[in-house]
A and B are shown apart, each in its own frame.
Chain A
Amino acid sequence: MTTSAASHKRYFFEKFGLSERLLERCLGEALSAGGDYADLYFESVSATSIGIDESLVKSASQGVSAGCGIRVVSGERTGYAYTDNLSAERLLHAARTAALIASGPAKQPVAGFTETQSPNLYPIPAADLDSDLSTKLDLVMRADRAARAYDARIKQVRASYSDELKRILIAASDGTYASDTQPLARLNVFVLANDGQQTTRGTAGGGGRVDISYFLAEKTPEHFANEAARTSILQLGAVAAPAGEMEVVLGPGWPGVLLHEAVGHGLEADFNRKKTSAFAGLIGRQVASSKVTVVDNGTMPSRRGSLNIDDEGSPTQETVLIENGILKGYLSDKLSARLMNMPHTGNGRRESYQQIPMPRMTNTYMLSGDDAPEDILRSVKRGLYAVNFGGGSVDITSGKFVFSASEAYLIEDGKITAPVRDATLIGNGPEALKYVSMVGNDLQLDEGVGTCGKDGQSVPVGVGMPTIKLDRMTVGGTGN
């Protein structure tokens, strides 16, 4: 572990001419007008993406960026400045700009850094990250061929592979000193099917904090291509989704986006500190059926939402949000943990050095229950079975959330019947999970496609869920 931490640091020191002495000077400058806390977040990202379209490799791009964000916290106030020029002069200037938030006598950072000890959730040999372009190219070409071979009605195929390597180094006035190298890779397939009468779409994708070998061994281009093609062909025969309140069964895996929207955001500590969340003040109260236990877990190996350390240099952890239906805790960063006098859960995240960190989810999922998925479906007289979703959204304050089904079926007399067209499901966060009457024994995590947006900042996340049944939920179709 220590060797890898040392190598993350060495990267910044050698490439950008940083030194521990300079970090200390910047922190000292940041606290030159007082304040409770200051931190420096250095980031260097290199990203590659390659895309096939109409069986031609039409795009290939690479990008590099580097910068540093400097934050000064004084009570509830935050001053922030960033620079993409990592010279000592510019860093000190940014520190002085961030320092403007405070107005008092200078404070001293604690003497000496303590390096954060972190696990190695995504051990990837550095050499593998630079795997040659031809291997990446081969992935998208395989996806293109597989999708086209799936069915003659597949008329358009686009596939893309993108990966990035993000190196971060964090130093803070409380002595925090942490670094990490975070890989992230993703393969995506988009297809259009046409049967001469109508056109439908299908998408599939996945990845995680993995290298290219994951797509050669575990989840192959053919897997994603077949999945995208299957969905688009299925949609050719879809009927109008029903409209109104009914029983809804959600399949395992990505439908866990329900949890992300219905409860996850509402449990981020900043909203609760400000009492702007529909969940504010509900700790210890029943917010879901007793069958429901939901956790956020940033420590799962190789997953898209996982992190060795968060963007404030703290180790991530598993945090129980809801246990047997009772609201247990919030997701916090340093600021909210301190101001709320609550446990710090290591959920401080940011999109880039240009942004201020805030409490964010990592991998959020519901634990398995006892029910067999077949029994769950069998119990429904008339309802909707939704197995895949586009995405979702929530109004934190009112608690109203939506998520849009991209693959769903009617359930009639306990049997899955016709596939239905895209439809949005809507509910109220603090209420919706009270209607969970059955929880399957088949917890699955999503394949690694989630990107969560909050206040204009996007971060990669994971979700998961077993099959569940909600006794009532509103389905926004147009049919009867």
Chain B
Amino acid sequence: MTQSLELTTDLQQLATDIVTKARKAGATDAEVVIREGDEFSTAVRLGEVETLKESGSRGVGLRVFVGQRVASTSSSDFTPEGIEHLISGALALARVTSEDPFAGLADTGEFGQLDHDLDLYHEDVYSLPTAERIDFARRCEAAAMSADTRIQNSDGGSFDAATGRKVFANSRGFVGEYRSSYCSVSTSPIAMSRNGEMQRDYWYSAARTLAKLDSPESVGAEAARRTLRRLDGRRVPTQRAPIVFAPEIARSLIGAIFDAANGDSIYRGASFFTGKLGEQVAAESINVIDDGTIVGGHGSSPFDGEGLPTRRKVIVENGVLKTYLLNTYTARKLNMQSTGNAVRGLAGNPGIGNGNLYLEAGSFSPEEILREIKTGFYVTELLGQGVNMVTGDYSRGASGLWIENGELTYPVQEVTVAGNLKEMFRNITAIGNDLVFRGSVTSPTLRIDGMTIAGE
């Protein structure tokens, strides 16, 4: 596609031009990101098209350094006047910020990008004609609705696709770009029990290419299964009991391990992992890995938000905290090296984010994990944000299924599960063998002991 090659050159040229102009205008260093994105989404409900959306947009972000001062601007205006404004605005802002000895771009030798093809972009996500996209969404919803007579309503089925392109350049000579694609199919059926109680659940499949998307029918069937098993849920008495987190829920706990090791929280002392490098922070069976280099991975990229190559890191090995997750700034604050985890949007300073983050699979099947439990709670959904990363206090709404004598029995709802993450990580007593990379953060089934269930 000659046309897109020309476009590529244009945007890279624009990015490096802005860097050059910013330098001329007085910046000692500058960094530019340009993002372009296209999306379309298709939603059906009860078999009828509900929305069709199709569009694209782009934006440019500039970060300048004047000595040890930093500031940033962003814009959707790509006209010459818009770009001038972007540059003059950033330099004006940099006059009011403070000298920070730790501010600055990474050292020249650190920049780079992976040279193998990460397989992040497939044009096929856009290849379906509108009628077929609608059909994908419709088939997914129909599969859920035909699963059981108790499903007579739905929040719809959808098929979404998006492509994005990111161009990055800085005054230390780094220029890079990559494209990525995304497609997903999902549905959210609503089931009603005989007494009129309604429950909703959801299932989806997401991939970088249509070829790897689960069939709409299988997604719909799973959505129906998840919804139906919630009907006629009850509350349980307040108690302590083993809790088994289903994989799609356990992933949030792996996310919490990442957050606890986030360098930004570490240098401030805002995380309970501060000062714990080299110490036992989780059960010995725990290995947590963040890897931005996996071919085709949902969380892969050739370089991070500062132009450093992404890499594979073992965050927790046999329960011992091995590394913090760092960008350039937090690495300097901690007198360490960046781990290539910088993320940045158009505006502001880079933050820290994960690549493909996962807990290594264990050896037990989910059934084996359940079989060991006399009385316990199998959690399939968490509600709310009740996680305090400073203290580790954890308290969230939950629903799922009650475990009795090793078997799943009746559904449970309107209860909370609570504990403290510091202890919860240590009290992981079983890890499933069911690790599937459905997104950028994944976990197998996990059992955690010692938590409190609050109910009746």
Q: Is B439 an interface position by the 8 A CB rule? A: no
A residues in contact with B455, CB < 8 Å: 244-245, 474
Q: Is A97 an interface residue (CB 8 A)?
A: yes
CB-nearest residue of chain A to B155: A276
Q: Which residues of B contact A137 (CB under 8 A)?
A: 96
Which residues on the A side are within 8 Å of B89 (C-beta)?
A: 62
Contact assessment for B71 and A61 in the assembled complex, using a CB-CB cutoff below 8 Å: yes
Q: Does B53 contact A (CB under 8 A)?
A: yes
Given contacts A61-B347, A65-B59, A198-B391, contact A477 B454 (CB under 8 A): yes
Q: Find out whether the CB atom of B384 lies under 8 angstroms from the CB atom of A61.
A: no
Known: A61-B348, A81-B55, A477-B418. A402 touches B390 (CB 8 A): no
Q: For residues 244 through 289 of chain A, which have their beta carbon under 8 Å from a beta carbon of chain B? A: 244-245, 274-276, 278
**Is B276 at the interface (CB under 8 A from chain A)?**
no
Q: What separation, in Å, do the CA atoms of A193 and B385 have in the docked complex?
A: 22
Judging by beta carbons under 8 Å apart, are A400 and B413 in contact? yes
Which one, B50, B94, B414, B419, contacts A426 given CB within 8 A?
B414
In the complex, whether A21 has a CB less than 8 A from a CB of chain B is: no
A325 to B31, CA, bound (A): 57
Cβ < 8 Å to B, chain A residues 375-416: 390-398, 400-404
Residues in chain B near residue A245, CB distance under 8 A: 238, 454-456
CB nearest neighbor in A for B72:
A61
| Number of inter-chain CB pairs below 8 Å | 260
Interface of A is mostly: strand
Q: Is B256 at the interface (CB under 8 A from chain A)?
A: no
Looking at the complex, which one of B54, B77, B82 makes contact with A81 (CB distance below 8 Å)? B54
Complex contact A422–B200 (CB within 8 A)? no
Q: Kindly identify, within residues 412 to 467 of chain A, every residue whose CB is under 8 Å from any CB belonging to chain B.
A: 421-424, 426-428
In the complex, whether A124 has a CB less than 8 A from a CB of chain B is no
> B56 CB to closest chain A CB, in angstroms?
8
Q: Which one of B51, B99, B269 lies within 8 Å of A156 (CB-CB)? A: B269
Cβ of B234 < 8 Å from any Cβ of A?
no
Cβ of A117 within 8 Å of any chain B Cβ, yes or no, is no
Q: Which of B331-350 contact A (CB under 8 A)?
A: 346-349
**Chain A interface, number of residues (Cβ within 8 angstroms):** 75
- Of residues 38 to 90 in A, which have CB atoms within 8 Å of B's CB atoms? 49-50, 56-67, 76-84
Chain B contacts for A403, CB-based, 8 A: 384
Contact B50 A397 (CB under 8 A): no
B385–A391 contact, CB under 8 A?
A: yes
Cα of A134 to Cα of B70 in the assembled complex, Å: 16
Q: Mark B134-154, 1 if CB is under 8 A from A, else 0.
A: 000000000000000000010
A315 to chain B, nearest CB (A): 26
| A148, chain B: closest CB distance, angstroms | 14
Contacts A/B (CB < 8 Å), 28 sampled: A56-B98, A56-B99, A56-B100, A58-B70, A59-B72, A61-B347, A62-B89, A63-B75, A64-B77, A77-B49, A81-B53, A84-B59, A199-B269, A201-B388, A241-B418, A243-B453, A244-B456, A276-B190, A396-B200, A421-B388, A423-B386, A426-B383, A426-B416, A474-B456, A476-B416, A476-B452, A478-B395, A478-B452
